[in-house]
């Protein structure tokens, strides 16, 4: 088993008197898909924002490639190789796929006053990188808004991979997709893993997680219920942990089995 690229050890995050994370530990290895599961309000968003440099942990340790790391901003995390694809995707629908792919990192040619966007190179890279992920674009200058939700997710993933992601954090990538689009995104995740990139798959959908995950960590009220490898836990058991099965059982007992 290879060493983790990223380790989060005993992470706590407080917002005033509110404890959003209470000693969460998590790690991700090259080529692995580690699923972080939890219901709404479990602390998933706070955790990935801490992992990606948006929040600084109140306490705990972050190790990146074995070295202590403190990110001052998401840009610091991105430069280290931690890329996050959020649900809103940060794309401009009326702009072309190429423009969205290279937004803020446009390749140029020429010098001084003659320096300009290298459209041909950008288009070639976009078409090539999307093809690697199984998407054949009609043309690179088509508006990104004409793509399906799954294809837009693939654009964001391909962009992160092209710009050197070592860890790819996917925030609920299948939550708003249909069956076919979900299947395409899950296939894209498999292609990303083949390149040795660690994938952190954030979800509340156990079926989707079970189809791509190697390990599963359940987050509930800012705490983890441990980590299980594929084959060590069933989807029913994962669902039960997410929903607070023990708490429901106790409540059902106190109400005389009326739930």
In a domain, 26, yes or no: yes
The string of DSSP codes covering the chain is -PPPSEEEEEEEEEETTEEEEEEEEEEE-TT-EEEEE--TTSSHHHHHHHHTTSS--SEEEEEETTEE---SSHHHHHHHTEEEE-TTTT--TTSBHHHHHTTT---EES-GGG-EE-HHHHHHHHHHHHHHTT---S-TTSBGGGS-HHHHHHHHHHHHHHTT-SEEEEESTTTT--HHHHHHHHHHHHHHHHTT-EEEEEES-HHHHHHH-SEEEEEETTEEEEEEETTSS-HHHHHHHHTTHHHHHHHHHHTTS--
Residue 248 is predicted with a pLDDT of: 47
Ranking 91-95, 129-133, 158-162, 242-246 by mean pLDDT, the lowest is 242-246
Residues 6+ away with beta carbon under 8 Å from 59: 10, 11, 12
Is 174 inside any structural domain? yes
Q: Which of these, 135, 193, 132, 147, lies nearest to 167 by C-alpha position?
A: 193
Q: What is the reported pLDDT for 204? A: 85
pLDDT at 29: 95
We report the CATH number of the domain holding residue 216 as: 3.40.50.300
Torsion of CA 156, 172, 238, 253, to 10 degrees: 180
Provide the number of structural domains found in the chain. Answer: 1
Residue 211 has pLDDT above 70, yes or no: yes
Q: Over the stretch 5-25, which tens digit does the pLDDT of each residue have?
A: 999 999 999 998 988 999 999
% residues pLDDT > 90 (the chain): 44
Instruction: Tell whether 159 is covered by a domain.
Output: no
Q: Are 29 and 1 in contact (CB under 8 A)?
A: yes
**Tokens 């430069």 label which residue?**
79
Residue 151 lies in a domain: no
The torsion region of residue 4 among left (phi > 0), alpha (psi -120 to 50) and beta comes to beta
CB 97 within 8 A of CB 137: yes
Give residue-wise pLDDT tens across range 62-114: 999 999 988 888 888 888 999 998 877 778 889 999 999 998 888 888 888 88
Closest alpha carbon to 144 in 181, 187, 99, 85: 99
Domain-embedded: residue 119: no
State which residues form the domain around 11. 6-94+165-254
Q: Give me the chain's average pLDDT, please.
A: 87
Q: Which of 39-43, 51-55, 211-215, 219-223 is the least confident region?
A: 39-43
Tell me how far apart the 2 most distant CA atoms of the chain are, in Å: 79
Residue 85 lies in a domain: yes
Contact 166, 197 (CB under 8 A): yes
Q: Is residue 121 part of a domain?
A: no
Are residues 71 and 115 in contact, defined by beta-carbon separation less than 8 angstroms?
no
How many whole angstroms from its chain centre is CA 226?
20
Please indicate, yes or no, if residue 194 is contained in any of the structural domains.
Answer: yes
pLDDT tops 60 at residue 259: no
Q: 254 pLDDT band (50/70/90 cuts)?
A: low
Give the pLDDT confidence score for residue 130 in this predicted structure.
Answer: 92
As a whole-number percent, the residues of the chain with pLDDT over 70 amount to: 93
pTM of the model: 0.86
């Amino acid at each position: 088993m290879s060493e983790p690229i990223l380790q989060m050890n005993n992470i706590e995050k407080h917002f005033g008197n509110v404890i959003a994370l209470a000693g969460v530990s998590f790690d991700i290895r090259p080529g692995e898909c580690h699923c972080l599961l939890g219901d709404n309000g479990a602390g998933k968003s706070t955790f990935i924002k801490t992992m990606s440099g948006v929040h600084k942990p109140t306490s705990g340790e972050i190790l990146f490639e074995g070295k202590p790391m403190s990110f001052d901003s998401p840009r610091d995390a991105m430069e280290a190789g931690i890329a996050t694809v959020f649900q809103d995707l940060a794309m401009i629908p009326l702009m072309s796929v190429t423009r969205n792919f290279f937004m803020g990192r446009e390749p140029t040619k020429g010098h001084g006053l003659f320096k300009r966007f290298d459209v041909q190179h950008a288009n070639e890279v976009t078409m090539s990188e999307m093809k690697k992920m199984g998407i054949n674009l009609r043309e690179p200058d088509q508006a990104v808004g004409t793509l399906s939700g799954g294809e837009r997710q693939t654009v964001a993933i391909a962009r992160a991979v092209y710009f050197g992601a070592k860890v790819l954090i996917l925030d609920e990538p299948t939550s708003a997709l249909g069956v076919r689009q979900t299947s395409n995104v899950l296939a894209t995740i498999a292609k990303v893993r083949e390149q040795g990139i660690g994938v952190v798959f954030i979800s509340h959908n156990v079926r989707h997680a079970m189809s791509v995950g190697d390990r599963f960590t359940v987050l509930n009220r800012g705490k983890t219920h441990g980590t299980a490898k594929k084959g060590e836990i069933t989807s029913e058991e994962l669902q039960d942990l997410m929903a607070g099965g023990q708490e429901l059982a106790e409540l059902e007992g106190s109400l005389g089995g009326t739930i």
